[in-house]
């Protein structure tokens, strides 16, 4: 009965996995880089930010998908923003209730989840067109992908910048921390290094594939 | 026909549908936010209280219980949430026998990045500052943020001289932050090298707050001493 151009997607493992790897919001789509760079100066901040974003992403995708047939397209962006802002406010209060130290460490970036383009992007490009089940699974995948990406940055930056992970001393006290790693430039360095690594892996995979194809073509 | 279908087939969506959607979503949003706020508010208040108590026990050695007061030129009032009482909030810390161990005060000044807010302890007997605790700051990690944990720096505040002048109207010697390694007097603060601006902000805020508040504390000392019993 839907006249929407996009086909309804069946829920498969791929619906979830896409967010982790193929369409990873940070490493592939390069979305939501503001919190990625700003709050990954420690592992704990990265985990908290990742989980907060995951919750907002899943909750807003669910609601948008539930209401997708009732939202006139002229007011859809305004509606999505209200929905997202609601869940962000909820997360804001919940984090304050869990730990004030954590809340102070994350600063304004909790509120700024409202403007995280990963979430609005999912609402507009996916949840507004797909069934609730597919939207939830897809949002979980994207949220998990985002959290993993934050963790990749957070652990490396904390390890090099403070010699610890989750506050536990990893290097001996002789290790002089690279303070730059927990400062803003460190975010760019580490993100750049991860992107380089993933691009290298991707290219090697493609080359192997090409080589394999070449071999079968010669063989025939 | 559902409204989504209408939106597809007709170029004009009725204004009512748009109003209904936005209004409905806004109401739902309001309901959710208020519910969560009602539920989390007591927990958040409790967290804040615990954080303040922890900070007070850090800046006043040996404190067992505390009582909040509002202090201003107009007098000393118990902080009971009475809106008519005005003044700066201070926390009087008491020992196990109800004796006054010291007063904790809040102070703030602009640091390198943003406003630094601290809680610091004042001892009425030695007339000195007995400790500081950073409540909020956004100083550069690795440089300015040392004001929170650098041990050598925190030694400055174990017994920082804050004696009143003979008229009891202000400090005998203004509290100042001096260049690293040049501290000579008890009222000087030895700055952290590499964190001069942050160090100076701390000295400035304690001096400003002390010049204003310490004479008032001494004036109302008797009321503060019996505060716990009253």
Predicted confidence (pLDDT) per residue in B134-172, tens digit: 988 888 777 888 898 888 999 999 889 988 888 888 898
User: Do residue B27 and residue B113 come from a single domain?
Assistant: no
Task: Provide the pLDDT for residue A151.
Answer: 93
Domain assignment of residue A97, yes or no:
yes
Between chains, do A85 and B2 touch, taking CB under 8 Å as contact?
no
Domain assignment of residue A214, yes or no:
no
Please tell me the total count of domains within chain A. 1
What is the band of A6 on the pLDDT scale with cuts at 50, 70, 90? low
Domain assignment of residue B174, yes or no:
yes
Q: For residue A4, which residues of chain B lie inside 8 Å, CB to CB? A: 4, 8
Q: Rounded mean pLDDT of B45-65? A: 89
Sign of the CA dihedral with B216 first, then B220, B226, and B230 last: negative
Task: Provide the pLDDT for residue A219.
Answer: 58
What is the band of A4 on the pLDDT scale with cuts at 50, 70, 90? very low
Q: For residue A72, which residues of chain B lie inside 8 Å, CB to CB? A: 3, 7, 13, 17-18, 21
Domain assignment of residue A137, yes or no:
yes
Query: Which residues touch B53 (CB under 8 Å, ≥6 apart)?
Result: B66
**Where are any strands of DSSP class E within chain B?**
65-72, 75-78, 88-94, 100-110, 115-123, 128-136, 160-161, 176-178, 188-190
Q: In this structure, are residues B131 and B185 in contact, taking their beta carbons and an 8 Å threshold?
A: no
Nearest residue on chain B to A176, alpha-carbon basis: B142
Q: Is B33 on the interface with A (CB under 8 A)?
A: yes
Statement: residue B10 has pLDDT above 70: no
Between chains, do A182 and B44 touch, taking CB under 8 Å as contact?
no
- Domain hosting residue B112, numbered range: 61-228
Between chains, do B33 and A100 touch, taking CB under 8 Å as contact?
no
Domain assignment of residue B54, yes or no:
no
Q: Rounded mean pLDDT of A89-95? A: 94
User: Do residue B7 and residue B73 come from a single domain?
Assistant: no
User: Do residue B120 and residue B211 come from a single domain?
Assistant: yes
Q: How far does B227 lie from chain A, in Å, by closest CA?
A: 30
Q: In the A/B pair of chains, how many CB contacts fall below 8 A? A: 86
Domain assignment of residue A53, yes or no:
yes
Of the two residues A6 and B17, the one the predictor is more confident about is B17
Q: Which of A85, A96, A182 has the CB atom closest to B141's CB atom?
A: A182
Q: What is the tens place of the pLDDT at every residue in B74-88?
A: 888 887 766 677 788
| Model ipTM over 0.90 | no
Smallest CA-to-CA distance from B128 within B195, B188, B200, B66 is with B188
User: Do residue B129 and residue B216 come from a single domain?
Assistant: yes
User: Do residue B90 and residue B193 come from a single domain?
Assistant: yes
Please tell me the total count of domains within chain B. 2
- Domain hosting residue A182, numbered range: 13-170+177-207
């Amino acid at each position: 009965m839907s006249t929407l151009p996009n086909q309804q997607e069946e829920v498969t493992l791929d619906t979830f996995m896409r967010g982790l790897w193929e369409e990873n919001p940070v490493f592939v789509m390069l979305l939501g880089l503001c919190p990625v760079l700003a709050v990954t100066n420690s592992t704990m901040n990265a985990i908290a930010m990742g989980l907060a974003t995951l919750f907002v992403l899943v909750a807003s995708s669910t609601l948008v998908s539930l209401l997708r047939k009732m939202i006139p397209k002229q007011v859809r962006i305004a509606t999505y923003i209200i929905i997202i802002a609601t869940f962000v406010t909820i997360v804001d209060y919940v984090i304050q209730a869990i730990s004030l130290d954590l809340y102070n460490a994350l600063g304004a970036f909790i509120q700024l989840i409202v403007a995280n383009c990963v979430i609005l992007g999912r609402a507009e490009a996916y949840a507004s067109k797909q069934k609730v089940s597919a939207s939830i699974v897809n949002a979980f995948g994207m949220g998990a992908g985002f959290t993993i990406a934050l963790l990749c940055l957070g652990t490396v930056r904390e390890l090099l910048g403070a010699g610890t992970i989750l506050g536990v001393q990893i290097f001996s006290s002789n290790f002089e921390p690279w303070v730059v790693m927990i400062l803003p430039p460190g975010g760019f360095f580490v993100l750049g290094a991860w992107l380089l690594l993933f691009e290298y892996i991707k290219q090697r995979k493609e080359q192997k594939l090409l080589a394999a194809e070449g071999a079968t073509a010669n063989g025939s | 026909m559902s409204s989504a279908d209408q939106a597809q087939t007709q170029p004009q969506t009725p204004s009512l549908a748009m109003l209904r959607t936005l209004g409905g979503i806004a109401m739902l949003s309001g309901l959710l936010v208020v519910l969560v706020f009602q539920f989390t508010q007591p927990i958040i208040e409790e967290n804040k209280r615990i954080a303040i108590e922890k900070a007070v026990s850090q800046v006043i050695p040996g404190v067992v219980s505390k009582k909040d007061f509002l202090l201003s030129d107009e007098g000393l009032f118990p902080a009971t949430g009475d809106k008519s009482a005005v003044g700066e909030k201070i926390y009087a810390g008491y020992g196990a026998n109800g004796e006054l161990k010291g007063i904790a005060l809040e102070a703030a000044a602009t640091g390198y990045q943003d406003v630094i807010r601290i809680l610091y302890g004042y001892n009425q007997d030695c007339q000195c500052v007995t400790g500081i605790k950073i409540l909020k700051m956004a100083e550069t990690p690795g440089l300015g943020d040392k004001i929170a944990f650098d041990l050598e720096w925190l030694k400055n505040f174990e017994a920082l001289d804050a004696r009143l002048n003979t008229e009891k109207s202000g400090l005998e010697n203004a509290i100042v932050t001096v260049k690293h390694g040049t501290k000579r007097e008890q009222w000087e603060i030895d700055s952290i090298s590499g964190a001069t601006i942050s160090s100076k902000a701390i000295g400035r805020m304690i001096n400003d707050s002390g010049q204003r508040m310490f004479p008032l504390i001494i004036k109302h000392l008797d009321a503060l001493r019996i505060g716990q019993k009253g």
